[in-house]
């Protein structure tokens, strides 16, 4: 019987989005760096990844210590001058946003 390992207890913030027409990947990456600096200062922040796949969709995954901290940071981000340039490049109508926690995981 496989060993039952403890689930990752962190909260995941997952955002699936497209950028506005004409925005390049390098523009998005440049605008995302100030967001990294901002998010590192937020209580409960663990890590952040921005993922580009084989479609026009991008995925941002941010890990937090708790759902409460994730919600608080999301609210602050809406009015953050560091986040505004990146948000301006995103097609907000394309955005799917969710917070959740692990219910199953596999590790090596």
Over residues 9-55, the pLDDT tens digits come to 899 999 999 999 999 999 999 999 999 999 999 999 999 999 998 88
Q: SS3 letters for the chain?
A: CCCCCCCCCCEEEEEEEEECCCCCHHHHHHHHHHHHHHHHCCCCEEEEEEEECCCCCEEEEEEECCHHHHHHHHHHHCCCCCCHHHHHHEEEEEEEEEEEECCCCCCC
Fold (CATH) for 11-101? Alpha-Beta Plaits (3.30.70)
Domain residue extents for the chain: 11-101
Q: 0.85 cut: is pTM over it?
A: yes
Q: Return the pLDDT at 8.
A: 86
């Amino acid at each position: 019987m496989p060993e039952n390992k403890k689930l990752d207890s962190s909260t995941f913030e997952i955002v699936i989005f497209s950028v506005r027409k004409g925005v390049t990947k390098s523009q998005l990456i440049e605008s995302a760096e100030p967001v990294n600096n901002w998010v590192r200062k937020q209580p409960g922040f663990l890590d952040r990844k921005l993922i580009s796949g084989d479609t026009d969709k991008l995925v941002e995954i941010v890990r937090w210590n708790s759902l409460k901290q994730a919600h608080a940071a999301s609210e602050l981000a809406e009015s953050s001058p560091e986040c505004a340039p990146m948000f301006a490049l995103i097609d907000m109508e394309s955005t799917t946003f969710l917070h959740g926690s692990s219910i199953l995981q596999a590790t090596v």
